[in-house]
Amino acid sequence: MNKELIHRVNQHFETRFNTEPLLIFSPGRINLIGEHTDYNNGFVFPAAIDKGIVMAIGESETEHSIVVSMDMNEEVQLDLKNLKRLEDNTWKNYIIGVVAELQNTGKDISNFNCVFAGDIPVGSGLSSSAALENSLALGCNELFSLGLSKNELIHISQKAEHNYVGVNCGIMDQFASMFGQKNHALFLDCKTLE
Q: Is 173 a catalytic residue?
A: yes
Question: Which amino acid is located at 185 in the chain?
Answer: A
Catalytic residue among 50, 88, 108, 173: 173
Residue 23's closest CA among 53, 57, 49? 57
CA neighbor of 153 nearest in space, from 180, 183, 127, 175: 175
Contacts with 132 (C-beta within 8 Å, 6 or more apart), sequence order: 26, 53, 55, 91, 94, 95, 116, 118
- List the alpha helices (DSSP H) in 18-149: 92-103, 128-143
Tell me how crowded residue 56 is: count the other CB atoms within 10 A of its CB: 29
Q: Which residues are catalytic?
A: 173
